[in-house]
Amino acid sequence: MVLVFWTSIRKQNVITIILILCVSYHGNVESSIYWEEANNVTYCTLPRDKALPDPDWGPGNCTPKPEDYLKCVYYWTNASATTARIRTHYLNRTDAAISDYVIYVGRPLIYCIGLVFNILSICVFSQKELRQVATCQFMIAIAVFDILTILNGFFYWIEYELLVPVMTAHVALCKISVFTVYCGPEMSAITLTLMSAERLLRNMNTAAHERWFSIKRTSLYIVAIVLAMVLLNTYIFVSDIFFKECCKNVCWNIYHDGTDMLELREKNCREDMGNNCGIMGALAFYSVYRWVALSIYWILPFVGLPVINGWLLYEIWKERRRRNNQECRPIIPMPDLPVDGSEYKDRDKEITKMLILVTLSYWVMTTGFNFMQAGIIDVYHACTPHELVRNSTIYTIFMLLFYLNHASNFFLYCISAKPYRDEVKCMFARGYRAIAMLLRTIVTKIQSSFYNAENDKRLNSVRVSYHKSRCNSIDSL
């Protein structure tokens, strides 16, 4: 068991392990520093750094109210750690530029890769035979939720990296984008955990699995998850997250803004009764919601995935020891699985690898982000320009990892398990066959008078028959 774990780690995940160590070490240092600071409330005792210019107060002759002026300066300076403004307005330094360029380029890169592979994942799993399998239904749902998250990421990129107002341009755009970015990852996390549970049940008790994860019931679970998360987040539509403060429009969301702005907003609302504060305070909501979000998006999978996957690994290990060859209960239900012992062992190893990979990558990719959104790692309070750059670097790393988590499910599930990998190959082979067929028709029709038409025809038919034999098991269903 340990050996399997170690060899699989050593071979493929050296980078992952290094990343874990780096991030956890970094996280420890950061959180211990900020723990002290959070108890003292006053963040900086030093006077404001004169190297930093005042914020650019935007169009018109707007300046904040005199009593708010310093708060606004602090707020926008601190918030620049999460936008391209740190580079364009505050700091003319290479380290600020690097962390900023990484996220500026990294975001669209990860989004595009994620979009392509999530769409591919939907194509693979929504094939007629696979649609009937519960795991595949879950995978389709996860891909859809991830696409939502990623599409939403483009809004963030345009707003905060290109500095073109989209989310802050209109209240509807703000609320819709915040709503999707809260819902999508949470739905994805719950579905991922449920899918692990489904795989475990299939391995342990096939009859119960049939009952609990029939096609109808699985769709029902997915609909229930969607409805629950939509309900949980409808608060966004009635709350006061879109407002004008410190001369700028703010679309307040946990992915991007510190609480100081909400505090200022509440204060001004209470003082000025003419101001429309919305139905309920966004600050009060945030203080509750951040823990709810942390539970759903982090604690549930962080505890659930290793427990369920560990249990499944234990079952596989027990089964292998029993060496019961008459009864094969495939973990991933693919037709015509070879019952041959060595193949069986290979398959176990593949699945073990996949489960470890999935669990570890979830830990690595979401932990930092979750600590950031819950305020455990504070990136919105810097005392010096140096800390501002450090905050920006932390934000860049954790944000990109967060999106990478939603872009990489296809790799983790499809590419690391052989049955899925074969399925992807077959899909491409089928696509290739269709194109080859089409080409052959065109070639024979249009170029029939050409002397090389016969050669093409022969060549194509050889390739086609090769792919056909490989996909026979799936075609015969």
Q: Which is nearer to ligand NAG, 159 or 378 (CB)?
A: 378
Question: In whole angstroms, how large is the CA radius of gyration of the chain?
Answer: 27
**How far apart are the C-alpha atoms of 86 and 78, rounded to whole Å?**
9
Distance, CA of 258 to CA of 381 (rounded, Å): 8
Smallest separation, CB 359 to ligand NAG (Å): 37
Residue ranges that bind ligand NAG, judged by CB under 6 A: 43-44, 48, 52, 74, 77-78, 92, 260, 381-383, 388
Q: How far is the CB of 99 from ligand NAG (least distance, A)?
A: 16
Q: Smallest distance from the beta carbon of 81 to ligand NAG, in angstroms?
A: 9
Nearer Cβ to ligand NAG (384/460) = 384
Are 375 and 84 contacting, i.e. CB atoms less than 8 angstroms apart? no
Cα angle 297-145-431, degrees, rounded to a multiple of 5: 140
Q: Kindly tell me which of 86 and 429 has the beta carbon lying closer to ligand NAG.
A: 86
Nearer to ligand NAG, 52 or 374 (CB): 52
CB of residue 122 vs ligand NAG: minimum separation in angstroms?
A: 44
Least distance in angstroms from the C-beta of 184 to ligand NAG: 30
Which of 120-128's residues contact partners 24+ apart within 8 Å by CB, and which partners? 120/410, 120/424, 121/409, 121/410, 121/413, 121/414, 123/427, 124/414, 124/420, 124/423, 124/424, 124/427, 127/423, 127/427
Among 465, 475, 461, smallest CA distance to 426 is for 475
Q: Where are the beta strands (DSSP E) in 105-251?
A: 242-245, 248-251
CB 164 → ligand NAG: shortest distance, Å? Answer: 20
- Cβ-contact 225, 250 below 8 angstroms: no
**250 backbone dihedrals φ, ψ, rounded to 5°:** -120, 130
- Number of residues that this document lists for the chain: 477
Nearer residue to ligand NAG within complex by CB, 260 or 348: 260
**Least gap, CB of 320 to ligand NAG (angstroms):** 57
Residue among 41 and 273 whose Cβ is closer to ligand NAG: 41
CB atoms within 10 A of CB 288: 10
CB closer to ligand NAG, 38 vs 443: 38
